[in-house]
Chain A
């Protein structure tokens, strides 16, 4: 046992020059690839952000370097445009509504699916997981009729409800195993102290599951925030538009003023990127458990 480990120590302590050169070359090649890909990812975003600081002629003449001079009017115009703030507010409202609905409803269902034995449990779970195969696209035409008949067309709630409904599957898939892992003894102890199923659910299960709840909430927010087809079909009046609708409309309305479009687009992008930097761990964690194990 001692010999091999001694030998490997020896190797790592004084690698042959040839090995060292090869390692250096490999690391150089790796960084070349990684930096090239990173550049392709970052350039469009930087181009949009800087483009917002140019004027249209500048953008057509030389979109590559730094703006010269820096033009502030595009950003200022957007930031003083009430429509932009209204869309930001609408997006926030719809995201909040749909997230609260999908997380609460999914948690209630995942609780019994994870911790209660009852006939038909697996069938019910399978029914929910099938939702992953029912895309919004397929349902969109009948959804318009349904939401119209419910009197919820052109209404933030009429958008938040379908968004929440299409988020149920992934949310339940992520929450169920998490809820199963909470020890049975806790529930028994709670029952002895006179805590019913609802009491256990709200006072013990939910507080203990905060990391999982944050993960599913973050995914629901991202889904709702970026949703385009649903608001495009279900909202009609401009005062209800969410950011994706506003940005698209702005870009078709001011086709000639590219710089203004870029400023508007950049500002619409900021909340998502800030949110991403804060919540990256939850987004990655949620999607990989949902994807790898689901």
Chain B
């Protein structure tokens, strides 16, 4: 308010002067957040790009400039390329299995019935359990002589058991299962919130016009839920690309790199083996992947939501 008073008092002063003043006050209020953001979020990302051009262990002076050699090394290292493909597998599985599953549950919970809120409370609970704790409990549960083996033996399916997390062929699927255990509730809650924004009358109108419930969901509810599904898909992809805690605690990327992810690979090379420059190059690749994906998604997929009214009229 003070600003406007001063600005009016100055009356005839130029527009730029007034604008500067407004920006000054706004800047003062934003200063703490901007400073914190610039120092701990933006600067490190720029620094990662800088370090990625050096051969550096993080301790000595930064003077071994090697151009793009770190990137060439990463892109020709089968272990890194394997890690990229593992992230891709998790992304695909999340989109093909986890989100449809969460959507099905959200549709079930979108009707009023006794016990609905307790179910929602239970399903969402794993989201607040730390990935580290999730990882420890599940690895103990799945290890030989653990709960999984005993349970399967008890119901006569003992032959089905194998130490999934220790087998290169099954470790990714096992990890995906654990990830889904922790995150399906999050996507369900998101989709449920979207569903609750859709007027129930629309589905009822379709039913009155002779549509079955399945048809009403397919042709009325799902198109209207489009924006929420796309947000859910987006968060799922970004999350899967950054996967670290769970893998690090359960398998450290093993056995024989079969569950390595980009983030685990970066941590292992950068922090554990002191290859700071190389680790930074991996971080930059990860960042570029996430960023271009996000921009493309924004451009091609989320954009449709602005003219969604006509697309889905």
Q: A: which residues have CB within 8 A of B? A: 27, 30, 33-34, 37-38, 40-45, 47-48, 51, 60, 62-64, 101, 104-106, 108-109, 111-113, 116-121, 124, 127-128, 131, 133-135, 137-146, 161-162, 164-166, 168, 172, 187-188, 190-191, 195-197, 200-201, 222, 225-226, 228-229, 233, 243-244, 247-248, 251, 258, 261-262, 265, 268-269, 272-273, 275-277, 280, 283-284, 287-288, 291-292, 294
Contact = CB atoms under 8 A, between A and B. Distances in A.
Interface string B148-164: 00110010000000000
A135 B129 CA distance: 20
Contacts of A139: 40-41, 44-45, 48, 283
30 contacts: A37-B123, A45-B129, A48-B137, A109-B32, A112-B26, A118-B23, A137-B263, A141-B51, A143-B44, A144-B271, A145-B58, A146-B44, A172-B33, A190-B1, A195-B1, A197-B1, A222-B128, A226-B131, A229-B244, A248-B249, A251-B249, A268-B130, A269-B129, A269-B133, A272-B130, A276-B128, A280-B121, A291-B235, A292-B193, A292-B227
B130 A228 contact: yes
Nearest to A277: B121
Contact of B190 (A101, A262, A292): A292
Nearest to A191: B1
A273 B129 contact: yes
A133 B147 contact: no
Contacts of B232: 291
B43 A146 contact: yes
B242 A137 contact: yes
B175 interface: no
Contacts of B33: 105-106, 108-109, 128, 168, 172
Nearest to A289: B193
Contact of B130 (A45, A117, A168, A244): A244
A161 B138 CA distance: 32
B89 to A, nearest CB: 18
Interface string B12-54: 0000000100110110011011101101111111011001000
A41 B36 CA distance: 38
B50 to A, nearest CB: 8
Interface residues of B, number: 90
B274 to A, nearest CB: 11
A183 to B, nearest CB: 14
B176 interface: no
B286 A265 contact: no
Contact of B22 (A116, A137, A190, A200): A116
A214 to B, nearest CB: 16
Contact of A138 (B34, B287, B294): B287
B125 A41 contact: yes
Given A137-B266, A284-B124, A118 B19 contact: yes
Given A135-B238, A168-B33, A280 B124 contact: yes
B40 A165 contact: yes
Nearest to A188: B1
Most chain B beta-carbon neighbours within 10 Å: one of A37, A124, A141, A287 = A141
B27 to A, nearest CB: 8
Nearest to B213: A26
A268 B130 CA distance: 10
A137 B240 CA distance: 12
Contact of A248 (B1, B34, B136, B140): B136
Given A116-B25, A165-B37, A187 B242 contact: no
Contacts of A197: 1-3, 25, 29
Nearest to A108: B29
A287 B228 CA distance: 13
Contacts of B37: 127-128, 131, 165, 168
Contacts of A51: 140
B30 A112 contact: yes
Contacts of A144: 58, 271
B176 to A, nearest CB: 14
A283 B129 CA distance: 13
Q: Top 6 nearest A-B pairs by Cβ distance?
A: A165-B40, A142-B47, A191-B1, A139-B44, A288-B193, A142-B44
Nearest to B193: A288
Nearest to B35: A105
Interface in B271-313: 271, 276, 279-280, 283-284, 286-287, 290-291, 294
